[in-house]
With several copies, the nearest count.
Chain A
């Protein structure tokens, strides 16, 4: 490729952007709006997933011990439980701690349990958390077999419900993402195809003057990339600042809801958006132009 030709490609792409300013603006607008929708719903899905994970991680197993288990056995039991696959946290709760906790949960009426101090009927126990809620039943069954363990409990119905809900959230989130990404690709490529369509006669004239397919295609490709990049950058910036101001606002008014603000996720996502914009811009142009090149 000659240098003068490369120069032509860039001059041509940029002057075409200016000449067709109306079409260019419309294309950038479509890219921006489509990717904005995609970006914000990606964040929504990401947060729903995070919320699901938080919910799942709050599921706890309680393992009550036989009365009179020795301190040594408790320590080794703790080791054994910790060694089980999937277990992330093991906390020992003595019968005294259990009573205190129970009292707290009674609030102002804690005097109800006053009589129990002398003869505490509560057992010593372990509270166990697993990596994923799905591992709870298995881990519970394992612990039940350990000697010294009297009874193992967890919110049986609740865990299954929770798992069903979080499964749905993940599947629906994935489906939404795929559908919206497809919609964005459709909308953007339709716009670009229309703007190429509006210039089909020009393309055929170029071909009649002896231009090779690449000579005609390349400026369109560059132009598409610039349009896609401009639109996706705009969308990216809007998502970034919009989301952070939203997150700050949520954080002030709903401090107990943990929004995803880790930069690693957000940057990957923004990078993906921009790459998508660039890709559809370039490919959309290149593909749209094809059927007008055959002259």
Chain B
């Protein structure tokens, strides 16, 4: 589904965030992206949905070179990807349900359908009673869950979650991980950048470890730390 061919990313200030990344993520996989702070995890996810462009190399999504895409194609690429952002990125002036609904509105889903699906999604993340609030009126963990609901509502073929449990208590984190596993079983590919070692260790999925912009480990069914 996604292939990285010799991808490097050097930011404008000269920081090399990724260095010659080669990676193949297959359809239906569940992949953990781990590594210390500043290793390049977020940068890697940003290349997939074209928030950033690679400095060298190619990122291929469903056979298309993401960097070479025409401008008109980008929105359609992004609609296939559900993104959970590390910094949430909620629309500050929209209510919780409007934030979630927005991901449907961009695709032109009917008002009726929206009214049906948004409460469902909010219920999945346990926020059905916060639908009418603004993001500024939520706790950190609640904001994070709004972001998760928004990423999943579209039934995207790929879910990219950047540190989705950083502000959540262990119980809520596990509930969400069950949700992720469920949608993964229904066919959604999942890439999750995380520091939650307990989750990674328990789930035994494919683990890609980054360090200083390079892949230092790519292990099927691995743990958070290198077992070797």
* Chain A contact residues, CB within 8 Å of chain B: 2, 4-5, 7-8, 16, 19-20, 199, 202, 205-213, 215, 295
Contact = CB atoms under 8 A, between A and B. Distances in A.
Contacts of A213: 71
Given A2-B108, A212-B106, A295 B51 contact: yes
Contacts of A211: 75, 102, 106
Nearest to A203: B91
Contacts of A206: 91, 102, 106
Interface residues of B, number: 26
A211 B93 CA distance: 17
Nearest to B89: A205
Contacts of B79: 210
A3 B85 CA distance: 31
Contacts of A209: 78, 83, 102-103, 106, 150
Given A202-B92, A210-B103, A211-B102, 10 more contacts: A4-B111, A19-B93, A206-B91, A207-B75, A208-B51, A209-B78, A209-B83, A209-B150, A210-B77, A210-B107
Nearest to B109: A4
Interface of B: 49, 51, 71-72, 75-79, 83, 85, 89-93, 102-103, 105-111, 150
Q: What's the dominant secondary structure at chain A's contact region? A: helix
Contacts of A19: 93
Contact of B75 (A5, A8, A20, A210): A210
A210 B93 contact: no
Contacts, number: 56
Contacts of A215: 75, 106
A18 to B, nearest CB: 10
Contacts of B49: 208
A207 B78 CA distance: 9
Given A4-B111, A295-B51, A208 B106 contact: no
Contacts of B85: 208
A292 to B, nearest CB: 14
B51 A210 contact: no
B110 A210 contact: no
Given A4-B108, A8-B105, A210 B76 contact: yes
The 10 closest A-B pairs by CB, nearest first: A210-B79, A210-B78, A211-B106, A2-B108, A212-B75, A4-B110, A210-B75, A19-B93, A205-B89, A210-B106
A17 to B, nearest CB: 11
Contacts of B106: 206, 209-212, 215
A93 B29 CA distance: 108
A104 B183 CA distance: 106
A16 B93 contact: yes
21 contacts: A2-B110, A4-B111, A5-B105, A7-B111, A19-B93, A199-B93, A202-B93, A206-B102, A206-B106, A207-B75, A207-B78, A208-B83, A208-B85, A209-B78, A209-B106, A210-B79, A210-B103, A210-B106, A211-B106, A212-B72, A215-B75
